[in-house]
Amino acid sequence: MAWKENYYEQLILKIDQFTRKFYINQLIRGSLYFIGLLTLVFLAYNFLEGQFYFSRSVRAVLGISYLALFAGTAWWWVARPALHYFRLGKLISHEEAARIIGMHFSDVRDKLLNVLQLKAQSVNYSDRSLIEASIAQKSMELHPVPFMHAIDLQRNRKYLHYAAGPLLLLASLLVFAPGMIHKPTQRLIQVDREFEREAPFHFILQTDTLAVEQNGDFTLRLRSEGTAIPAEAFIARDGYQYRLQKEGPELFKYTFSNVQRDVAFHIFSGAVSSPEYVLRVLMKPLIEQFEVRLEYPPYTGKKRETAMNTGDLIIPAGTRVHWTFRSIHTDQMSMRLSGEKAARPLQRSGESDFSASHSFRQDDAYALYLRNHQLPNADSIVYQVRVIEDKYPQIDVEPFIDSSQWKLRYFAGTASDDYGIRTILFKYAVRDKSGAEQAEKSVTLPAETVAKVRDVRHVFDIGTLNLQPGESVNYYFEVWDNDGVNGSKSSRSEVHTYREVSEEELAQQELANNEAIKDELSEAIDDAKKLRESLSDFKNKLRQKKDLEWQHKQSLEKMLQDQQRIQQRLEEANKRLGENIQKQQPEDENVREKQEQLQKLFNEAASQEMKELMQQIQQLMSELNKEQTLKMAEQFESKSVDLEKEMERLLELFKQLEMEKNLKDQISDLRKMADKQESLSEKTEGDKELADSLKQQQDSLSKQLDEFGKKQDSLRQKNEGLKPPRKMEDRSGQQEGIQKDMKDASQELGKSSKEGKSKAAKKQKEASGKMKEMADQMEQEMQESDQEQAEEDARMLRQLLENLVALSFDQELLMKELGRVNSQTPKYLSLVQDQFRIKENFRIVEDTLDVLSKRVVEIQSFVMDKVGEIGDNFRDGLKHLEERRTGDAANNQGRIMKNMNDLALMLSETLDQKQKECKGGSCKKPGSKSCNNPGASGSGKSGRKPADKITEGMKGLEKGMQQQLERMRSGQQGTAKEFAELAAKQAKLRKMLQELEKENSESGHGSSEARQAIEEMNRIEKQLVNKQLSNEMLKRTQEITTRLLEADRSEREREWDEQRKSETGTNIERKFPPGLEEYIKKRQGEIEWFKQISPELRPFYRNLVEQYYQGLKKQG
């Protein structure tokens, strides 16, 4: 029975599967109907709306009907089959399904329905076996039949055209005529609006949003679309109409400027109008006003300042800025500095106020960001902050050198800073010969308060450093400011260096300067001669012209430039002469006086009168006429001739002075070599040093003598160029004899024997004696030459004076006769001839005086000026006499006579001076050996202090005791005479020290070191009398010398302190030279002007003023 039931159940299952496929078939066919019908209705409604532009009510009916149709068809054709498929709702029965299956399969027909009916009837029968057997048999027969094939889904293809046709039509319209679908559909959907029938065109906005920030500009762009293109379009807003700007055939634009509120508008062109639009205003966050408080660093001395509505700032470094902003329409405000990655919110105080603060040390920028709910993207405002850095201090110091004190340095200038100077230091450091620098020392310049500008004045005496030859000192100024932000900063002035040169270097510098002086003077004289020729040619050409031409002015200007070049050469020569005088400081008083007199003549030669004449000619250059130009040219020529003569005189005087100094230096060098040779002979006799060392010293002296000989030859050549040359014999024979002795001594020393040393010492003494003799002969020869020259000069001066007085009388007599004679008589012509004769006679005087002035430095330059004035008056007087202008001629003659008398008086004074010099010793007879320095007493050492003499005497005594001790060690016992001489020297030095100590004690400046030295000298003196000498005595003698040196140093320090105290009582600081004082006053005036700059000026403008001020100083 179980298998029979199984067939039946399978049959039922197959019927259920058929049912599901049945509903799928209905769903597919219904969907095609649904799509096709709705698409056709949609197209029909769109077509009708596109053609008739239904009213809102009709469009509402159409819309509702479409929705109803959609709902009904969707339920019937789509939703209901879908529900039945999932066995929801009322389904077809198995019997109905059997009938449908039976209709499809001919073999089945009513079998399936009979099986179902038998199954239903079996319930009413008690014995169902027969029925169930029949059911099972029929079920088995139906089991192979595929019920699912009764429904063919492929047959739905014939219904596909119901949906495909409308869809294809819709797609074609969307592609090729989208307006036929879009526009009617929009109108059908928007049933609440009325739509007018479309015009041939309409306007489309190109702007995405209709919103603008308050106070901003908004540009509205639109285009027209349709079958027609409007020629123009207008916008209607605020009751006014405005024409749109056309950008293209279909493009228009309009700009809303400074929009303050919402604006309603619409676009129209003819009868076509757009819908109404609204431009919405977004309220912009704004800063209504703000306050800036500036808190300056305390060290600047500036008070706090407040500024309103000033965002860009120019402030000193370290300034703290406090902002307070008052805003409107602002919800949030923040600030970002240029160096920060993110903005920092400002502190809110009150409803609309924000505040912030920041300190600035360098240039920066800050941006302010403002936000509100309408504009969440912050609007920004950027301001610049320019920070004025605290500048480095400046110092401008000029060094000045006193011509009388070469090692004294004066400094004057100014130091300045933008806010204040803290301190000014003068620093110096000494370097030894190897270049190693000692510890730097500094001196703080006094200052009462911190100032922006300070006057710098300082005196540095290099002589107090006691530099040795080859050592140098570097010195400079250092100024520190009061920068309270970055720390005090410093600047240095130019570093100056002074180097102590050796005697050899000084001699080389002097020689170079001498040659340069002679070259400058020679070139200046050549230029003066060329200038004189140019002036003469200029006057001749000018006399041939009626008027002054441009070429003449050009020639005159060139000659002025030539004259200026001559002045510059003369000033350069004068400068070099001053350097020689400052650096050399010759020991000979006579040479030093002549050097000073010569420099005075140099200063007078570069006269201010010539410079003023040149300036006057330059000023009148554009206004001069022919007569004025000739007059100026004659004055110019006269002054140029005088200057030429004066330069020739200076050149000759300089050569003579150079020769005199060189001769005296040669004599001094020869005496020094003689002393060295004598000292070397003593060393050779003492047998203390090795022969090789003594030989080297002897060879060095030989080389020095060779150099001496070369200098002598050079001096003889220079002497031949003097006018007149000095008396100077050739002493090469004597020099050869000395050289031979030195050579023999060197050869004997080379033998390294005791006998050789003895012979060498003898030759050395002979060479020393010959050198001293030669020095004496050279000195005597020089004195004889000076005496002869002085006598010749005095004789010429007397003769010149007599001739000048005679000419003065002749001029006076002629002047009286001219006053009594008529200018139209023959006698007048005779007197004019007499005037010519006097002029010619005076020319002889002039030539003689010119020759004499080149030898006698005492003849002042104003003497030659008088000669020039007399010559000018002779020329003008003769011209006036020829023109018979007796009044003007008499005036010139009076001046001639007066100037002759003045000249005679000047020459008389010069003659008296020469005679006094002769009486003082410079004109004594040959052989007197008198020095050429009247007024000096004793030798060169006579002027030294007694303490110096005692110290030198002790050193000599120590040397004698050392030699005596060495002889005693070699076995030679000292004689009584030798010990007595040592004791006598000791006693003499002791008495001198006792007298000196007595004087010091009486003045209250006694020295314990001196008293101890006297006691020790007494003990040593007694031991020497007793012929006692030991190393211990020699050591005590050295200690005495040391004590004397300490006592001498203490005395010098005491005197210096007293001098300093006395100077302090009268003048706190060393007095500057007058010329430097004038510079200080000028600089002080500039400082006072600078101090008057208003402190209220902003830093930027104050810096501009300072830069302008500094620029003016540099130009000046």
Question: Is the model's pTM score more than 0.85?
Answer: no
Bridge pairing between strands 313-316 and 379-388: parallel
Q: Which of 325, 326, 402, 383 shows the shortest CA–CA distance to 357?
A: 325
Six-digit token pair at 104?
């499809």
Six-digit token pair at 308?
């309103």
Give the model's confidence band at 104: pLDDT under 50 very low, under 70 low, under 90 confident, else very high: low
User: What pLDDT is stored for residue 943 in this prediction?
Assistant: 39
Question: Which H/E stretch holds residue 330?
Answer: none
Give the model's confidence band at 1105: pLDDT under 50 very low, under 70 low, under 90 confident, else very high: low
Give the model's confidence band at 429: pLDDT under 50 very low, under 70 low, under 90 confident, else very high: very high
**Tens-place pLDDT, residues 852-889:** 877 777 776 667 778 888 888 888 888 888 888 888 88
Residue 931 has pLDDT above 50, yes or no: no
Please answer whether residues 159 and 33 qualify as being in contact, where contact means their C-beta atoms are separated by less than 8 angstroms: yes
In Å, how far are 262, 565, 574, 641, 1022 from 525, measured between CA atoms? 98, 11, 15, 10, 73
Q: Of 524-533, 837-846, 1027-1036, which range is least confident?
A: 1027-1036
Q: Pick the residue with more confidence: 691 or 27?
A: 27
User: What pLDDT is stored for residue 355 in this prediction?
Assistant: 92
Mean pLDDT (the chain, rounded): 78
Six-digit token pair at 822?
């008529």
User: What pLDDT is stored for residue 100 in this prediction?
Assistant: 65
Bridge pairing between strands 277-282 and 211-213: parallel
Cis peptide before 469 (omega within 30 of 0): no
Give the model's confidence band at 944: pLDDT under 50 very low, under 70 low, under 90 confident, else very high: very low
Q: Is 599 left (phi over 0), alpha (psi -120 to 50) or beta?
A: alpha
Q: Of 326-330, 520-524, 949-953, which range is least confident?
A: 949-953
Arithmetic mean of pLDDT, 229-255: 91
User: What pLDDT is stored for residue 941 in this prediction?
Assistant: 37
Residue 848 has pLDDT above 80, yes or no: yes
Six-digit token pair at 300?
């600047």
Q: Of 403-412, 703-712, 808-817, which range is least confident?
A: 403-412
Residue 98 has pLDDT above 80, yes or no: no
Residue 91 has pLDDT above 90, yes or no: no
**Tens-place pLDDT, residues 308-339:** 999 999 999 999 999 999 988 888 899 999 88
**Tens-place pLDDT, residues 481-504:** 988 888 899 999 999 998 887 777
Bridge pairing between strands 319-328 and 218-226: unpaired
Residue 911 DSSP one-character state: H
User: What pLDDT is stored for residue 628 in this prediction?
Assistant: 73
Q: Pick the residue with more confidence: 1050 or 249?
A: 249
**Tens-place pLDDT, residues 389-401:** 989 999 999 888 7
Give the model's confidence band at 3: pLDDT under 50 very low, under 70 low, under 90 confident, else very high: very low
**Tens-place pLDDT, residues 770-794:** 889 898 988 888 888 888 888 888 8
User: What pLDDT is stored for residue 1096 in this prediction?
Assistant: 45
Give the model's confidence band at 936: pLDDT under 50 very low, under 70 low, under 90 confident, else very high: very low
Please answer whether residues 1023 and 994 qualify as being in contact, where contact means their C-beta atoms are separated by less than 8 angstroms: no
**Tens-place pLDDT, residues 1069-1094:** 466 666 566 666 665 565 555 444 44
Spatial CB neighbours of 1042, under 8 Å, sequence gap ≥ 6: none
Q: Hey, what amino acid is at 786? A: D
Q: Which of 119, 256, 286, 275 shows the shortest CA–CA distance to 205?
A: 275
User: What pLDDT is stored for residue 473 in this prediction?
Assistant: 93
Please answer whether residues 605 and 639 qualify as being in contact, where contact means their C-beta atoms are separated by less than 8 angstroms: no
Residue 454 has pLDDT above 80, yes or no: yes
User: What pLDDT is stored for residue 922 in this prediction?
Assistant: 47
Residue 1064 has pLDDT above 70, yes or no: no
Arithmetic mean of pLDDT, 713-728: 82
Please answer whether residues 617 and 559 qualify as being in contact, where contact means their C-beta atoms are separated by less than 8 angstroms: no
Q: Is 238 left (phi over 0), alpha (psi -120 to 50) or beta?
A: left
Arithmetic mean of pLDDT, 1022-1046: 76
What distance in Å separates the CA atoms of residue 996 and residue 1005, rounded to the nearest whole number?
11
Residue 940 has pLDDT above 50, yes or no: no
Six-digit token pair at 1070?
């060393």
User: What pLDDT is stored for residue 17 in this prediction?
Assistant: 72
Q: Pick the residue with more confidence: 402 or 1058?
A: 402
Angle at 500 between CA 494 and CA 501, to 5 degrees: 120
**Tens-place pLDDT, residues 64-77:** 888 898 898 888 88
Arithmetic mean of pLDDT, 268-289: 88
Angle at 104 between CA 101 and CA 109, to 5 degrees: 70
Give the model's confidence band at 1116: pLDDT under 50 very low, under 70 low, under 90 confident, else very high: very low
Q: How many CB atoms lie within 10 A of CB 672?
A: 13
